[in-house]
Structure 1
Amino acid sequence: MRARGGIVALRSDRVLMTDGDSAERDVIEHPGAVAVVALDDTGEDWRVLLIRQYRHPAGRLLWEIPAGLRDVDDEEPQATAVRELAEEAALRAADWRSLVDFFPSPGVSEERIRIYLARGLTEIPPEERDFTPRHEEADMPVRWLELDAAVSRVLAGEIHNANAVAGVLAVAAARARGLDTLRPADAAEE
């Protein structure tokens, strides 16, 4: 172990290559994360929920979808997604699907992300909310954007967060194929 922070650690592995040589590879150990595309598909124009959050490493505010670390021992990924949607958007969903799984930076990190699609949304009444936002989460504006407009903003380079880019484009593709083609929320991670 070369370094450990509050969330990630950095180690160096010696890897045997196919030509018989070995090489050193740095690896960021990361607990993984989940993200949620909250979709309002009740009207003619589908809408997705975006939040605006400050990200210190990027040095800017980014439009994102609700997301969070898989840092609670023995918590299933969907339970993490349910918790994050409640904490960041004060929403519950009646229908959950696995939308897309990916490794955002597999050349250097173990981080794996599952993005869920959440539908059948209802607001959590204030008296039932059990989360107090702190730090960056204390000031996160929420905005509903038509799906087609969100796709346009992704393609125009106006949405930079990888989860939001992947989630918005995946929902647009799933809309064309039919949402019933999506995997169940508890689909195994491969």
Structure 2
Amino acid sequence: MAHEAVDEPIKDTAEEWRVTASETPFTGNKTSVRTDTVVMPDGSPAKRDYQVHPGSVAVLALDDQDRVLVLNQYRHPVRQRLWEIPAGLLDVPGENPLHAAQRELYEEAHVKAEDWRVLTDVYTTPGGCDEAVRIFLARGISAVEGERFAVEHEELDMQIARIPLALLARGILKGELHNNCLVVGVLSVMAALAGDGLEALRPADAPWPARPFEA
């Protein structure tokens, strides 16, 4: 296979191969598993199993000392306690992702922010799940007055800390931090700071084709 030299910006494009059959062998509380029979380029059929996911938001909250608000909690599928940034599901189809992100920052960290921007949009595992995540950058953060939102399950023993951005970046590159939203968020902020700056990031209400929403 020949390698094509490309010296201009590239971008992902929408495409959909023909599906001749589809079934849902498992339906859970928030997600399900779907099996599609897809027509390959040579005309042959192939089955593809994947998780159907409502989508998520995550928040990289950066304070005025360049520290990131992070959470530490147990994640059973990987049998580890992971350092993460606040994140959560889009609870309702078409939900405004900014509103969901503001809710998650409040519920998980009891924090609010004055300045919101879109940091990046990612598909977490496109080979086996259709989950799309919008990661926001939140600045001008402060504690929320009043009682904290009630927590349950894994959140009952969750730790909250503020860690310097540079320290997190080193931990990521050393293979000591693994949460995808934390990794993508931290490295994206570092790239933005080294490039056009945080003010050049997209506005918080920027379109999101993967999960269209009402403004």
TM-score by length of 1: 0.94
Partner of 2:86: 66
The match for 2:133 among 105, 108, 113 is: 113
For residues 1-190 of structure 1, what are the structure 2 equivalents within 5 Å? 1-40=24-63, 42-43=64-65, 46-127=66-147, 129=148, 131-177=149-195, 178-190=197-209
Moved over 4 A (4+): none
Residues 54, 89 of structure 2: 8 Å contact kept: yes
Counterpart of 2:26, as a letter, is: A
Task: Measure the CA separation in 2 of the matches of 1:28 and 1:74.
Answer: 19
Verify the 8 A CA contact 2:54 2:93 in the aligned structure 1. no
Distance 2:55 2:206 in 1: 16
User: Secondary structure of the residue that 1:78 maps to in structure 2?
Assistant: helix
In the aligned structure 1, how far is the partner of 2:116 from the partner of 2:30?
Answer: 27
Output the CA distance in 2 between the equivalents of 1:166 and 1:123: 25
Specify the code of the residue in structure 2 equivalent to 1:111.
Answer: E
- Deviation at residue 72 of structure 1 after TM alignment: 2.9
Q: Distance in 2 between matches of 1:10 and 1:93?
A: 36
Q: SS in structure 2 opposite 1:81?
A: helix
Query: Number of aligned pairs?
Result: 185
TM-score normalised per structure 2? 0.83
Distance 1:125 1:60 in 2: 32
Amino acid at match of 1:141: Q
